[in-house]
Amino acid sequence: MDITVDKLDLHVVKLDLAKGIKECSERGLIHSVKWLSELNFSLSYIKLPSEDYNQISNVYDDEYDVYAMAKSYLDLKEYDRCAHYTKNCVNLRTRFLHFYSRYLSIEKKKLDNMTDSHCPPDPMNNAALKNLCADLKADYYDKKMDGYCLYLYGVVLKRLEVTNTAIDVFNEAVNATPILWSAWQELAQMIPNKNKLMSMTFANHWMKPFFLAFAYLEHLCNDESLEIYCNLHDQGFHKSSFLMAQTAIVHHNRRELEKSIEAFKELIKDDPYRLDNLDTYSNLLYVRELKSDLAYLAHTAVAIDKYRVETCCIIGNYYSIRSDHPKAVLYFQRALKLNPQYLSAWTLMGHEYMEMKNTNAAIQCYRHAIEINKRDYRAWYGLGQTYEILKMPYYCMYYYKQAQHLRPVDSRMLVALGETYEKLDKIEYALKCYYKACNLGDIEGMALVKLAKLYVKLNHQVNAAAAYAEFVGKIELKNSMTYEDQGEFCMALQFLAHYHMNKGEYDEAQMYANKLLEIDQTKENGRALLKTIAAKRGEQESELMPMDETGNISNMNMTNISNVEMVFSPQ
């Protein structure tokens, strides 16, 4: 699928956005209204004549009286009343309100009835949802649906886990009503892989590049996503907060952490009360151990809205960085009470249970995350770690393979998989994993060490020396190391010093021994090695000097030495 973005007519875009805002607002699709309105605001420098707006301002029809009352009930979250008064309506807009209010009523009751286990109930046992699906299905086969009703039908099918049909219905929805962003978003999250995405056909609408960039990002095709977002930025959407946030997430996925942090800071500067995606920003601050920045972000989020899921996740990360894991779990649980489908909270809570050595609870959290999104590599990786703790390497290998499949260019997944292969004595596979991790950049800097140790174990001394030498070079280039790095660094220096000494390469051996002298813990080892090297060097030089019959250095050799001394003696 071509990822180039055709030249956009921003006046057409602006008119479509105005129409979409009106239609989504009429139907209570508040998240789509928000997305469209923000995009519309980013094009505020484009002015449309008043007659264009007049074309889309008329909302009156035969069922308007019922619609107006039902819409007010929907806005006040009186969903059952809204459904009751619209049950006999046939106008597409009012009929959508009927189905949508029934769906929201089901969702609200599900949240209200959640047990203390914080686990969402099984949608397959929800009779009301099945009845709603049956009514929507009847309208679908009678061809009474517009794009909005198709979108709602797709959402219900998704909840009932009728995945393939849901994808087809969402595809119909975006082709029928391309302005409906929620349908594009649901479709992007449901498409199982990139090949399926490439095989699908979509209406040639200006929303298509927004969808493709979002879908590529969902499938971790970060380069393609970034290219499209940059193109949209250059075509006039440079003020879009959505584009800024998505670009920051792309940099996050590409492990360009500093770029991502700067992008989020710029976004907060432009839109200081925006909470969307700030949980991702808090993850970045957590990874970079920027405690004061994370504390400030948590304080800011609470001041804006302490009952948002993003705020709960930010506070959870704040307590986690302070090693207060029970309190972190409490806030992730609060986030899930607000939205049981909130993926980040399940994954992050799994991490916290891992820190608390509660592997059973961690496994449950990670499994819930995978149920919500099978492409969440963090949950697959977390499951691999839990089964590694439980010393179940075959399970561990399966989950690490899933994570590596989702993140093929992430060296961490390969290192974890290589360690598992090593435990299972599949040495050839382990070598391949470590070698590939080295070629991909070795994020944590441990693949070279693992590779070197495995070569030592196999008695491949030359390969081990090459891997250790590269590791030492990288550490020295970094000019800083963690406590763990320091241990591995010392081991590498000692191996290289012995390796070159045994080969008679005393200059190289002396160089590595001198490096050991610079580290407090290995000074004694360094001195001992230097003495051994000096002794071996002396033995070698003695062997090279010709001897007379009595075992003394010959006169000819003494003459040569005297000459050398004469040349280099001070005048």
Predicted pLDDT of residue 439: 86
* Judgement on whether residues 406 and 431 belong to the same structural domain of the protein: yes
Residue 152 forms part of a structural domain: no
Domain final residue, candidates 425, 451, 480: 480
Domain final residue, candidates 442, 464, 480: 480
Instruction: Name the DSSP class of 235.
Output: I
* Judgement on whether residues 430 and 504 belong to the same structural domain of the protein: no
Q: Is the pLDDT of residue 408 over 80?
A: yes
The stretch 33-60 carries a mean pLDDT of 79
Residue 463 forms part of a structural domain: yes
Residue with more model confidence, 352 or 3: 352
Predicted pLDDT of residue 54: 66
Residue 141 forms part of a structural domain: no
SS3 77: coil
Residues of 148-158 as b/e, b for ≥16 C-beta within 10 angstroms? bbbbbbbbbbb
The CA–CA distances, whole Å, from 52 to 20, 33, 49, 178, 298 equal 14, 19, 6, 19, 44
The stretch 102-117 carries a mean pLDDT of 78
Residue 422 forms part of a structural domain: yes
Predicted pLDDT of residue 116: 43
The stretch 397-412 carries a mean pLDDT of 90
Contact status, residue 36 vs residue 21, Cβ threshold 8 Å: yes
* Judgement on whether residues 476 and 385 belong to the same structural domain of the protein: yes
Backbone φ, ψ for residue 455 (5° rounding): -65, -40
Predicted pLDDT of residue 13: 93
Predicted pLDDT of residue 275: 94
Q: Is the pLDDT of residue 547 over 60?
A: no
The stretch 112-120 carries a mean pLDDT of 57
Give the alpha-carbon dihedral of 554, 560, 562, 568, to 10 degrees. -150
Q: Find the domain containing 387 and state its range.
A: 374-480
Dmax (CA) for the chain in angstroms is 125
Q: Is the pLDDT of residue 567 over 60?
A: no
Q: Quick one: what percent of the chain has pLDDT higher than 70?
A: 89
Give the pLDDT confidence of 268-304 residue by residue, as tens digits.
999 999 999 999 999 999 999 999 999 999 999 999 9
The stretch 67-84 carries a mean pLDDT of 92
Q: Is the pLDDT of residue 121 over 50?
A: yes
> Considering only 47-61, 276-290, 315-329, 437-451, which range has the smallest mean pLDDT?
47-61
SS3 347: helix
Predicted pLDDT of residue 209: 94
> Which CATH number fits the domain that encloses residue 389?
1.25.40.10
The stretch 113-130 carries a mean pLDDT of 65
DSSP secondary structure string for all residues of 434-497: HHHHHHTT-TTS-HHHHHHHHHHHTT-HHHHHHHHHHHHHHHHHHT---HHHHHHHHHHHHHHH
* Tokens found for residue 218: 């969902």
Helices 278-287 + 343-355 axis angle, to 10? 30
Residue 28 forms part of a structural domain: yes
Q: Quick one: what percent of the chain has pLDDT higher than 90?
A: 57
Predicted pLDDT of residue 124: 58
Helical spans, DSSP H, in 113-220: 127-141, 147-159, 163-176, 181-190, 194-199, 208-218
Give the alpha-carbon dihedral of 399, 402, 403, 406, to 10 degrees. -170
The stretch 409-431 carries a mean pLDDT of 91
SS (H, E, C) 359-388: HHHHHHHHHHHHHHCCCCHHHHHHHHHHHH
> Considering only 190-204, 218-232, 437-451, which range has the smallest mean pLDDT?
437-451
* Judgement on whether residues 513 and 469 belong to the same structural domain of the protein: no
Residue with more model confidence, 440 or 559: 440
Contact status, residue 359 vs residue 378, Cβ threshold 8 Å: no
Predicted pLDDT of residue 123: 54
Amino acid at 519: I
* Judgement on whether residues 443 and 386 belong to the same structural domain of the protein: yes
Query: pTM (2 decimals)?
Result: 0.80
The CA–CA distances, whole Å, from 247 to 44, 267, 429 equal 21, 10, 36
Predicted pLDDT of residue 320: 96
Residue 534 forms part of a structural domain: yes
Predicted pLDDT of residue 244: 95
SS3 7: coil
Q: Which of 357-371, 467-481, 482-496, 526-540 has the highest mean pLDDT?
A: 357-371
Q: Give me the number of domains the chain comprises.
A: 3
Residue 469 forms part of a structural domain: yes
Residue 142 forms part of a structural domain: no
Rounded CA separation 217/213 (Å)? 6
